[in-house]
């Protein structure tokens, strides 16, 4: 067994759900030779894939993005050192002007969807249309959602269930080039993270075919372009309705158009709650071709069961939520290489503002001050240090409580934010202080708090076990709402508190806005503060690092004052793989973690 250590680099934490800079990939340009015949690996993960559209509020999860990372190409990606690398085999982008900020993205001629349809500017236009918010005729607050899935119900208005801080600044409909491969965006204001704004998440032709009943793919593309350019609300409503939910599925659809690829792998099998199988895309002509013919991802929430599967040879690679039991288990397996360190992922507690529960002002006759005091009492009593001491320190001796919503410990500005936002001073685990806050607020106890977390996730089950008696002493009765489908339940109003993790997907300073901004893609708690919204808008157009930090400090103070939740700890990381079955694994701190640079993977020769 070979054990390697790695540490997380300085990153600005962003959106995502649910490993740290290590040696860079052996060959970031990939291989054009194609995969070795009859080669296969099986990778373990903790949550099943459930949506091909990772840009909706429902589909925006790591479980989906890691699969899409292997299936679809893009203009850029992050390497293991968290440096943004352009993939010019997919396409290129050019800064045309800084005032106004004008950028042209061009897709290469040989880039296509796996049904043979060209991937072009129509696909990029759909990204702008679905994420910019400019075509919506219905606000997020007016949308009726399915009570079981929280997905918007189809309606007559136009509502794309997504948001983007950058594309919201492009109010002018983008211009498509004559050859149909380029799109030019003119930003209303400067935007620091413009390089991350454009890609092809789902195919435009399929979306229009399904929504508008058009058979010919090129005709469907043109219909979508016309609908956007002409602001044809009748057509856009149908397009948005399908875009919001049409790509959600939990097993292989009968219609192959719903799982097209533009990258290295094709989806060929998908058995609900068991596994998904990807096979090399023979028609892919980019730099990141599959090096292994077949990759199967198997799901199990129990990391010890996955460790057993690794020892049995049922898995070749996995990266579980780390516990001392898991680490000891994988270290004891012969022939397994282990990497440990710190991930770009953090555990946090969210409190819900809009479900009629104990943290909602509506429960106190609309008295926002009382609701805030109840939230404050809950967070004041929450035993953050005890959680870290018992769950993280055994794996990472220097582990500490995280005290920032926006910035990772060790990143530039973290010390300034953590020292000024008030979280470390307020969220201390002080039960007596919490009791006094509730008494002063005149609120009767005990207060029932429906608390959701992932069923079968050992660390979160232990977290709940630690928190429940402490919160009970403070006056809160934590009701166990563990759920195997917790990911799809996020934001549905059936719980009052939840703990899960956000995973970094980029180093962009603007990427926290969808989590804390009003109506944001990842705003799952109904939080809204006009001052916070304005500061995020200001942050998005600020390029000076010192001024960015000043704005972030102001945002953090408001988030803590509003008692929206709290942060707990940075994830300790464990990745383990069978060195006789797979080589050149290079886990990264940002999503997609262990799947990073999959094109460099190799099955050792016998």
Section 39-51 average pLDDT: 96
pLDDT at position 276 over 80:
yes
Q: Which of 66-80, 395-409, 552-566 has the lowest mean pLDDT?
A: 395-409
In terms of average pLDDT, the best of 15-19, 76-80, 394-398, 441-445 is 441-445
Q: Annotate 335-390 with DSSP letters as a single string.
A: TEEEEEEEEEEEEEEEE-SSSSSTTSGGGGTT-HHHHHHHHHHHHHH--HHHHHHH
Q: What is the pLDDT of residue 31?
A: 44
Section 422-428 average pLDDT: 97
pLDDT at position 283 over 80:
yes
With bands split at pLDDT 50, 70 and 90, how would you rate the model's confidence at 506?
low
Section 164-175 average pLDDT: 93
Query: Could you report the per-residue pLDDT of 290-307, keeping only the tens digit for each?
Result: 999 999 999 998 999 999
Secondary-structure percent of the chain, ordered helix, strand, coil, rounded to 5:
30, 20, 45
Class of domain 346-570 (CATH, top level): alpha beta
Closest CA to 319 of 541, 520, 591: 591
Section 551-555 average pLDDT: 97
Q: What is the pLDDT of residue 192?
A: 83
Section 578-592 average pLDDT: 90
pLDDT at position 18 over 50:
no
- H or E stretch at 467: helix 458-474
Beta strands in 286-415 (DSSP E): 292-299, 317-318, 336-351
Section 107-128 average pLDDT: 98
Section 49-71 average pLDDT: 94
Sequence-distant (6+) residues with CB within 8 A of 312 are none
pLDDT at position 331 over 60:
yes
In angstroms, rounded to a whole number, what is the distance separating the alpha carbons of residues 114 and 155?
Answer: 31
Q: Annotate 416-428 with DSSP letters as a single string.
A: HHHTTSSHHHH-S
- Measure the CA dihedral 372/376/382/385, to 10°: 130
Section 448-454 average pLDDT: 97
Section 132-152 average pLDDT: 90
pLDDT at position 2 over 60:
no
Q: Rounded to 5 degrees, what are φ and ψ at 554?
A: -65, -40
pLDDT at position 571 over 60:
yes
Q: Rounded to 5 degrees, what are φ and ψ at 186?
A: -110, 115
pLDDT at position 382 over 50:
yes
Q: What is the pLDDT of residue 441?
A: 97
Query: Could you report the per-residue pLDDT of 256-275, keeping only the tens digit for each?
Result: 999 999 999 999 999 999 99
Section 113-138 average pLDDT: 97
In angstroms, rounded to a whole number, what is the distance separating the alpha carbons of residues 566 and 381?
Answer: 11
**Hey, is 51 helix, strand or coil?**
strand
Longest dimension (CA), the chain: 72
Domain 2-53+263-343+571-600 part of CATH 3.40.190.10 = yes
In angstroms, rounded to a whole number, what is the distance separating the alpha carbons of residues 331 and 325?
Answer: 10
Superfamily name with CATH number, domain 91-245: Dipeptide-binding Protein; Domain 1 (3.90.76.10)
Q: What are the residue boundaries of the structural domains of the chain, listed by start? A: 2-53+263-343+571-600, 91-245, 346-570
Section 549-559 average pLDDT: 97
């Amino acid at each position: 067994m070979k054990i390697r250590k790695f540490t997380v680099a300085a990153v600005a934490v962003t959106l995502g759900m649910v490993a740290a800079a290590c040696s860079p990939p052996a060959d970031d340009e990939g291989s054009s030779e194609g995969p070795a015949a009859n080669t296969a690996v099986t990778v373990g993960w903790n949550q099943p894939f459930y949506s091909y559209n990772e840009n909706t509020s429902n589909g925006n999860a790591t479980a989906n993005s890691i699969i899409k990372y292997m299936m679809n190409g893009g203009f850029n990606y992050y390497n293991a050192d968290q440096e943004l690398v352009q993939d010019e085999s997919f396409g290129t982008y050019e800064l045309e002007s800084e005032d106004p900020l004008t950028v042209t993205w061009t897709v290469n001629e040989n880039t296509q969807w796996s049904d043979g349809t060209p991937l072009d500017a129509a696909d990029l236009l759909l990204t702008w249309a679905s994420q910019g918010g400019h075509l919506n005729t219905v606000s997020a607050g007016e949308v009726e959602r399915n009570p079981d899935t929280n997905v918007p119900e189809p309606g007559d208005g136009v509502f794309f269930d997504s948001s983007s801080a950058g594309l919201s600044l492009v109010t002018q409909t983008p211009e498509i080039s004559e050859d149909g491969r380029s799109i030019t965006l003119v930003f209303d204001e400067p935007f620091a993270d413009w390089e991350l704004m454009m890609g092809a998440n789902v195919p435009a032709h399929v979306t229009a075919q399904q929504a508008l009943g058009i058979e010919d793919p090129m005709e469907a593309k043109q219909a979508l372009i016309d609908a956007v350019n002409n602001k044809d609300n009748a057509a856009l409503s149908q397009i948005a309705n399908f875009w919001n939910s049409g790509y959600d599925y939990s097993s292989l659809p009968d219609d192959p158009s719903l799982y097209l690829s533009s990258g290295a792998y094709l989806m060929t099998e998908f058995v609900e709650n068991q596994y998904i199988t990807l096979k090399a895309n023979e028609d892919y002509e980019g730099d990141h071709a599959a090096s292994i013919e077949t990759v199967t991802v198997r799901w199990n929430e129990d990391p010890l069961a996955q460790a057993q599967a690794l020892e049995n040879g049922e898995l070749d690679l996995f990266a579980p939520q780390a516990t001392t039991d898991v680490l000891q288990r994988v270290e004891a397996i012969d022939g397994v290489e282990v990497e440990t360190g710190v991930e770009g992922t953090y555990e946090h507690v969210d409190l819900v503002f809009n479900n009629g529960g104990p943290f909602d002002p509506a429960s106190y006759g609309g008295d926002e001050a009382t609701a805030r005091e109840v939230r404050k009492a809950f967070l004041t009593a929450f035993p953050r240090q005890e959680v870290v001491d018992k769950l993280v320190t055994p794996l990472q001796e220097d582990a500490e409580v995280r005290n920032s919503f926006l910035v990772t410990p060790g990143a530039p500005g973290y010390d300034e934010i953590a020292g000024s936002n008030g979280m470390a001073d307020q969220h201390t685990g002080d039960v007596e202080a919490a009791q006094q806050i509730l008494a002063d607020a005149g609120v009767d106890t005990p207060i029932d708090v429906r608390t959701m977390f992932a069923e079968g996730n050992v660390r979160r089950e232990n977290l709940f076990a630690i928190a429940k008696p402490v919160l009970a002493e403070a006056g809160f009765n934590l009701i166990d709402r563990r759920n195997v489908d917790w990911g799809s339940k996020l934001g549905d109003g059936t719980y009052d508190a939840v703990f899960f993790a956000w995973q970094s997907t980029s180093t962009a300073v603007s990427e926290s806005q969808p989590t804390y901004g009003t109506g944001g893609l990842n705003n799952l708690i109904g939080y809204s503060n006009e001052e916070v919204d304005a500061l995020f808008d200001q942050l998005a157009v600020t390029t000076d690092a010192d001024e960015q930090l000043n704005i972030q400090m102001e945002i953090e103070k408001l988030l803590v004052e509003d008692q929206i939740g709290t942060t707990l700890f940075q994830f300790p990381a464990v990745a383990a793989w069978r060195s006789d079955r797979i080589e050149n694994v290079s886990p990264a701190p940002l999503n997609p973690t262990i799947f990073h640079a999959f094109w460099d993977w190799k099955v050792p020769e016998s």
